[in-house]
């Protein structure tokens, strides 16, 4: 989880939630580049080695 990104609410459309929480506006609000955050993650390292 990323601090500042709200958890999905019960019975909320997951696709809508993803679009809302991963928008450029949210990146600006959080001061974060989600692509760079992913590239520094252990998940990225794992996927890269597959």
Instruction: Give the tens place of pLDDT for each residue, 1-50.
Output: 899 999 999 999 999 999 999 999 999 999 999 999 999 999 999 999 99
From CA 22, how far away is CA 33, in angstroms rounded? 10
Count how many Cα atoms sit within 13 Å of the Cα of residue 7 in the half-sphere of its side chain.
Answer: 4
With 0-12 / 13-18 / 19 or more C-beta atoms within 10 angstroms meaning exposed / middle / buried, residue 7 is exposed
| Cβ(9)–Cβ(21) below 8 Å | no
Report pLDDT for 37: 96
Report pLDDT for 45: 96
Report pLDDT for 47: 96
Report pLDDT for 39: 97
Answer yes or no: pTM beyond 0.85. no
Q: Taking the C-alpha atoms of 40, 4, 34 and 41 in order, what is their torsion angle to the nearest 10 degrees?
A: 20
Report pLDDT for 35: 96
């Amino acid at each position: 989880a990323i601090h500042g990104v709200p958890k999905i609410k019960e019975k909320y459309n997951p696709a809508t939630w993803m679009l809302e929480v991963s928008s450029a506006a949210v990146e600006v609000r959080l001061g974060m580049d989600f692509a760079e955050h992913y590239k520094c993650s252990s998940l990225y390292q794992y996927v890269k080695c597959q």
